[in-house]
Structure 1
């Protein structure tokens, strides 16, 4: 029986440098919750960004981290999941997160992991995969329309290119040159270097008389607004970072629709049916990776004790890929449950 566990603790105003490895008391799951012994945790850009600037719900001692994979070791009342089930998850930013040996989760949000899928891969999928899925869900599929993914060299963009291509869109993308061949191999019809001052003109020349049906921007609201003129009539501007507070185009012009993607919001605002749909989508993504239908960035594995250093490397863009720590390879029940 365990009385406590190791976790990385956030200190207000200290950023990544303020993270401390502490011991926290282990709590039994309440009704509707599961306790997961983490076997892998993955880093995302949102992690270092929130750690650096803080969050309204965080106090000193909060455990950051949104993505992980582990074994359910205890269940609260009313939970149909059995202990021993391997799950992946995206944790709410308002709750203690994945940067720990254990994590308490809403049972309705965890994803069952296929037995043959590696822990590091499963841990790295929820945040970018569900974000890409939600972004694509914003746009109604009305035929083989042209869409543009900005920042396709990142995990979200890479998955979005594949999901959009498999849905029947003609997918264009921007990314650093080193990503171009791979993006074309997984479905992009054309990829442009965002550092090329003429890339928008080149894209328009390739499109001919066609216009873009959707732009998916992973950079910022300001960056997305500057791309709005590329959209055709009734097009869709989808912001994966930030949002549009005002329309970037004059009223009664191309009549575009503005979309905000906010994965964390589902924890507080999604209905039960919304959660079930998202859970199903997440499990389909995991199956897609296992089958080879979806490819994910290469994992950069690090030791749990070196988590702050890995966050610094992620912030600086070092090595690329998904940073993942492995731990608790053979977890046992902490409360003496079978």
Structure 2
């Protein structure tokens, strides 16, 4: 019988280099919870940012990590999910996270993984996939209006381009040149190099008399505000990083709507029906990955014991892709007597 498990522990003020691999006691899930034995853990930019910056709910000993995939090994009272079910998840920042052999989760938030979908692909989906879905869900209607995805070379932007194109939008994007052909293959009409000082003028020339219905910005609130003039009347400025604290344009001009995307907030503020919709959306995205209708970033698999080094590589940019740790399959019932 297992009594403890390995987990990466955060130390206040020490950043990535302060992470320590420790042993934590294994506990049974309570009502409405499931215990998952992780098989794959995916890294996201939010992970290194919160580790470096801290979080109001964190104290020394917190286990970071928002995305993971594994097998349910125990379920609490009132949970219909059976042990042995493969699930992927986005964990709340206010609970111990995925950087561990086991993770205790709110059962209402886990996504059932299709039997034929690879563990790594499943772990890579929740944070960027659900963020992209939420961002697109801010915009009413479907195509053929024009939308712009800024920072489409990242995981969220890559998925957002695909989802917007599938909804019939004319999708424009910005990204480093190495991503251009791939993004066009996913449905982008054209892709502009964000380092080109004339890219906005080139976009406007391509649009002609049309204006953008929506701008999805993955860079910062300040960057998004600078793009507001590209929007047409009743357009939508969607901030995937930060938010708009003040209106970026004069009142009663183009009357744009401002949106913030905050995936972690659903853990504290979403109603039961909100959670059901999010779970259904996530499971559809997983099915789309399996069928080939949705492509996730290329995975860079690393050893779980090298997690801090992988976080440093993610922070520095490097070759890009999705950093995923694979874990050994654990005992299907950690509480069983040997």
Q: Give the shorter-chain TM-score range.
A: over 0.9
Secondary structure of the corresponding residue to residue 24 of structure 2 = strand
In the alignment, structure 1 residue 86 sits paired with structure 2 residue 95: no
TM-score (structure 1 length as normaliser)? 0.99
Post-superposition Cα deviations, 1:32-53, rounded to whole Å, max 9, x if no partner, equal 0000000000000000000000
Task: Tell me the equivalent position of 2:297.
Answer: 297
Post-superposition Cα deviations, 1:169-228, rounded to whole Å, max 9, x if no partner, equal 000000000000000000100100000000000000000000000000000000000000
Structure 1 position 142, deviation (Å): 5.0
> Are the counterparts in 2 of residues 34 and 107 from structure 1 also a CA contact under 8 Å?
yes
In the alignment, structure 1 residue 316 sits paired with structure 2 residue 316: yes
Post-superposition Cα deviations, 1:263-310, rounded to whole Å, max 9, x if no partner, equal 000000000000000000000000000000011110000000000000
Q: Using the alignment, how far apart are the partners of 2:180 and 2:319 within structure 1?
A: 17
Q: Using the alignment, how far apart are the partners of 2:331 and 2:238 within structure 1?
A: 41
- State the Cα RMSD in Å: 0.8
Q: Using the alignment, how far apart are the partners of 1:99 and 1:85 within structure 2?
A: 20
Post-superposition Cα deviations, 1:232-261, rounded to whole Å, max 9, x if no partner, equal 000000000000011000000000000000
Alignment of 1:147-158 (within 5 A): 147-158=147-158
Q: Using the alignment, how far apart are the partners of 2:193 and 2:59 within structure 1?
A: 41
Alignment of 1:177-196 (within 5 A): 177-196=177-196
Task: Tell me the equivalent position of 1:34.
Answer: 34
Structure 1 position 330, deviation (Å): 4.3
Distance 1:32 1:215, change over 3 A: same
Secondary structure of the corresponding residue to residue 62 of structure 2 = coil
Q: Using the alignment, how far apart are the partners of 1:95 and 1:330 within structure 2?
A: 22
Q: Using the alignment, how far apart are the partners of 1:176 and 1:142 within structure 2?
A: 27
Task: Tell me the equivalent position of 2:325.
Answer: 325
Q: Using the alignment, how far apart are the partners of 1:328 and 1:334 within structure 2?
A: 14
Secondary structure of the corresponding residue to residue 61 of structure 1 = coil
Secondary structure of the corresponding residue to residue 35 of structure 2 = strand
Q: Using the alignment, how far apart are the partners of 1:76 and 1:68 within structure 2?
A: 20
Task: Tell me the equivalent position of 1:270.
Answer: 270
Q: Using the alignment, how far apart are the partners of 1:143 and 1:63 within structure 2?
A: 42
Q: Using the alignment, how far apart are the partners of 1:128 and 1:305 within structure 2?
A: 24
Task: Tell me the equivalent position of 2:224.
Answer: 224
Q: How many residues align?
A: 337
Q: Using the alignment, how far apart are the partners of 2:83 and 2:221 within structure 1?
A: 43
> Are the counterparts in 1 of residues 142 and 167 from structure 2 also a CA contact under 8 Å?
no
Unpaired runs of 5+ residues, structure 1, are: none
Task: Tell me the equivalent position of 2:252.
Answer: 252
> Are the counterparts in 2 of residues 4 and 26 from structure 1 also a CA contact under 8 Å?
yes
Secondary structure of the corresponding residue to residue 226 of structure 1 = helix
> Are the counterparts in 2 of residues 90 and 110 from structure 1 also a CA contact under 8 Å?
yes
In the alignment, structure 1 residue 125 sits paired with structure 2 residue 147: no
Q: Using the alignment, how far apart are the partners of 1:191 and 1:224 within structure 2?
A: 18
Q: Using the alignment, how far apart are the partners of 2:319 and 2:109 within structure 1?
A: 31
Q: Using the alignment, how far apart are the partners of 2:269 and 2:58 within structure 1?
A: 19
